[in-house]
Structure 1
């Protein structure tokens, strides 16, 4: 079973491949700041399935979540900080290799990135889709490396 380094590397490779594909077919124009955010989301997606066990990946994931939560609180985005907190505790209610290692979780877990901004702020799905795809790509790379397909 691959460790966190392999999952991070796999996510970066998968994320860059998807990004290159989208650029080549004209669906994405490179914005360096957004690319950095997308790669981070891709890596978080790749680490997410293993956060239900004590691991280095779990500590990295939750460190990132803590930084993001503190930033949201600093900018007085308390509603988003609350949503993030609820989502962060979900894996704690299952056994390792439970629901976090399923194809449907890969699609469902990042869904709040599409739904919440739409309902809370009225943002349109096309502007949110790259973030969803980045997380799903990382998640997919994890499941692929774990031979779940």
Structure 2
């Protein structure tokens, strides 16, 4: 079973090849900062499936969720804080390599990259599509490295 470093490298490689291809074909030409962000989103997607076990990915995601939840409570956004808390509990209801290691989770979980800016900040979802796709690619790279396909 690959470790977190392999999952990070796999996610970065898959997304790097995809971004290079679409850049070369002229479909999407992100600037350097956007490319770095795409890489970060991809790596996060590549780590997420292991949040259901004691892992570096879990520590990172739950640490980030805690900080965001504290911020939402400070801003008196209790509804969003409750939704985040509910979503953070979901990986705990399955076993390792359970639902977090499914193809549908690889499509559904990264959708938060589209929904969160829209709901929380009132921004349009379209500019976030490349980040969603990078997260999906990273997520699928994890599943492929774990031999799920």
TM-score (norm 2): 0.82
Aligned with 2:26: secondary structure?
Answer: coil
Q: State the Cα distance separating 1:84 from its structure 2 match.
A: 4.1
Residues paired across the two proteins, number? 148
Q: Distance in 1 between matches of 2:115 and 2:146?
A: 29
Asked whether 1:20 is paired with 2:11, we answer no
Task: Tell me if structure 2 keeps the 8 A contact 1:72–1:80.
Answer: no
Task: Tell me if structure 1 keeps the 8 A contact 2:48–2:58.
Answer: yes
Q: State the Cα distance separating 1:110 from its structure 2 match.
A: 1.3
Q: Distance in 2 between matches of 1:87 and 1:107?
A: 16
Task: Tell me if structure 1 keeps the 8 A contact 2:69–2:84.
Answer: no
Q: 1:137 to 1:81 in 2, by over 3 A?
A: farther
Q: Distance in 1 between matches of 2:19 and 2:84?
A: 26
Task: List, as ranges, runs of 4+ consecutive aligned residues in structure 1 with deviation greater than 6 Å.
Answer: none
Q: Distance in 2 between matches of 1:146 and 1:24?
A: 30
Structure 1: segments with no counterpart, 5+ residues: none
Residue 48 of structure 2 aligns with which residue?
Answer: 48
Q: Distance in 2 between matches of 1:64 and 1:140?
A: 22
The residue correspondences of 1:16-95 to structure 2 (distance < 5 A) are 16-66=16-66, 69=68, 73=72, 76=75, 78=77, 83-95=83-95
Task: Tell me if structure 2 keeps the 8 A contact 1:8–1:46.
Answer: yes
Structure 2: segments with no counterpart, 5+ residues: none
TM-score (norm 1): 0.82
What's the Cα RMSD here? 2.7
Q: 1:71 to 1:127 in 2, by over 3 A?
A: farther
Q: Distance in 1 between matches of 2:30 and 2:87?
A: 29
